[in-house]
Amino acid sequence: MSVSILDLPDDLLAKVCTFLDGDSISTWGSSCRRFRKVCLEEPVWAELCQRLFGERLGNLDLWPSLSSYLDLYLFLSQYAALEGDWYGDIYPRGQLLTIRAEDGAFVGRRVAVTFCGSEDRSLSEQGATRADPIFRLAPSPSKGESRGVVRWDPRVHAGIDGKALADSGTLNLIPDTCPPSPSRSEEAILWIEGEKRTKFELHRPEMEDIGDDLSQSEEEIRLRHRLYIQNATLPEERFQTLTVYRRLLISPRKQPTAFPRDQLLSFPSSNTTDQNRIDAPIASDDPDLSGYWWGMYGPHGPEIVLVSHDGAQIEGCKITGDPNVPSGEVTFRVSAVPEKDDVFPSSTLEILQNMLDDINTQVISVQRGVARIAETGFHSAEWTLGLMLRYANGDFGVLFFPEGFVIDFTRLHIPKN
Amino acid sequence: MTEKGRIVKMVSQDQEEFEVEYGVATMSTLIANVLQDVSEETTTVPIPNVNAQVLAKVIEYCRYHYEAKRIDQSEEDIERWNKDFMKVDNKTLFNILIAASFLDIADLLDLGCKTVAGMIKDKSVEQIRELFCIEGDFTEEQEAKMREENNWGSEMSQENNAAQ
């Protein structure tokens, strides 16, 4: 029997479509009338949305302003990458921006901690986390287009510094003139009419996860994203600021490995030797500290730190910073393994506890490492001895030597409004 | 009644008989359903719309995957085998797809659709027509309209550049 592709039933052709990307489907649909009909079937796009963007984002119910999965595909293929946590490279303060899909829009919120307690460390838990919306991006397909490709015109609402969201504008994609990576990327620019003008750009590399080339992991693609938000509260262009955002990923804790003990204190030299390695046993019930924490950096106020566990070390990197040690810098780096008794006799814990007698929790172990201190402008930056104090309640503090001050850290819970 | 030792005789369109172990044959949901209420040692199942050449291919697929699952074959080995298995001419590929759809073998159906999708991906309209020996049956007007539609992305960027 002689069989051509046209002998395949519609449902099989539709299934083939769900393994393609939007561009290829559109090309295929242009090759003959039968394919065109199959390509425009709603279930094709519904399945494509679910496969590419997941059950939550790829569900039309989440997007009341859209009426078809084809529109949803067109919207999400450009903006699904927005969702996640972003680090705003604003020197020296830095910014934590979370973008989530809610109520039919991508809402970007700036996360900040306000400290309502006194300088008394025992009140450190009295910080309040706020997540103020700074932009809202909702799709809306333009009217009168009933064909395969819909021209759409998302309404964009932007607000600055927690003020009410106001003004609307259009968001377009333009090709990037200076790609951040070798692959093609695009940027989205938002123009707000009126006296506020906000620029909003999204660089995205080409998605290449279709067909049998499924090897490139999605995380790798995501890492290459850059998000640009440009704000100007005044019409004068000279007041515009451009903020570059980089995607933040919290990597899961790695198993502890043997590591050279001297590495921590000799940092930043990256030359390590195989000598002085010690075994790194770690209690299996040791809590994973990975994630966002905040601590009171004295007069600078509360700052947000991203803690990661790379197996040998626990590192705290500043998401928000201050003029002395700015955002993006490592504030402490300690061994993943608690000090043994022969290095720190058990009396040490007692001495520490006495030093910290205003703390209403017990120090249960100490991890040695380094902490960053610097003068204003990150001048004379140096590594000093730092000790991570693990408290019985699961929180931790970092003791900075020789100054002898302790910064307590509390886990940051980003509110979901 | 054990499944072990049970044999299913699959009879192709051109009356060729294939003796297949029960576990292999029931990778087809259709056959599994047919055999549900049958308890004979040997059952004959006619597959009226699949010819011997294609049925042999399908059984080869089921045999490999049945065995691969049993001995816990690595993902990469299975991937490689699947890729080689799909190195067939278009006619055979489409026949396998139709057979997989009829016999309801989900994995083979996915593999086949993915293979066709891989052939279509990143090709131009002309290349696709040539590949599948199909002719464009649109009117001039429709063709022009589609060209315009497919350029929507670049059009928008031009407008945007002008706005700047």
Over residues A311-332, the mean pLDDT reads 90
In chain A, the percentage of residues whose pLDDT exceeds 90 is 13
> What φ, ψ does residue A364 adopt, rounded to 5°?
-105, -25
Say if the Cβ atoms of B149 and A147 lie within 8 Å: yes
Indicate if A204 and A56 belong to the same structural domain.
no
C-alpha angle B19/B24/B30, rounded to 5°? 95
Whether residues A228 and A99 share a domain: the answer is yes
Mean pLDDT of chain A: 68
Size of interface A-B (CB pairs under 8 A): 115
The answer to whether the Cβ–Cβ distance between A32 and B117 falls below 8 Å is no
pLDDT of residue B19: 92
Residue A21 near residue A207 (C-beta atoms within 8 A)? yes
Is there a single domain that holds both residue A42 and residue A91? no
pTM over 0.90: no
Query: Which domains, ranges and CATH numbers included, belong to chain B?
Result: 7-123 (3.30.710.10), 126-163 (no CATH)
Domain containing residue A138: 83-248
pLDDT at A342: 56
Residue of B nearest to A176 (CA): B157
pLDDT for A293 equals: 94
Distance CA A400, CA B102 (A): 71
Indicate if A285 and A212 belong to the same structural domain.
no
* A149 → closest Cβ in B98, B101, B152: B152
User: Number of structural domains, chain A?
Assistant: 3
- Partner A contacted by B149 (CB < 8 A): yes
- What pLDDT, on a 0 to 100 scale, did the predictor assign at position B60? 95
Residues A12 and A150 in one domain: no
- Identify the three-state secondary structure at position A201: strand
Q: Of B123 and A143, which is predicted with more confidence?
A: B123
What does the pLDDT read at residue B53?
93
Is the backbone of residue A135 left (phi > 0), alpha (psi -120 to 50) or beta? beta
Helix ranges (DSSP H) in chain B: 22-25, 29-35, 52-70, 75-85, 90-103, 106-120, 125-132, 140-150, 152-163
My answer on whether A124 and A149 are in the same domain is yes
Regarding whether A181 and A37 lie in a shared domain, the answer is no
pLDDT tens digits along B102-145: 999 999 999 999 999 999 888 888 888 888 888 888 888 777 77
Is B130 within 8 Å of chain A by CB? no
Nearest to A290 by CA among A330, A250, A247: A250
Tell me what pLDDT residue B148 has: 65
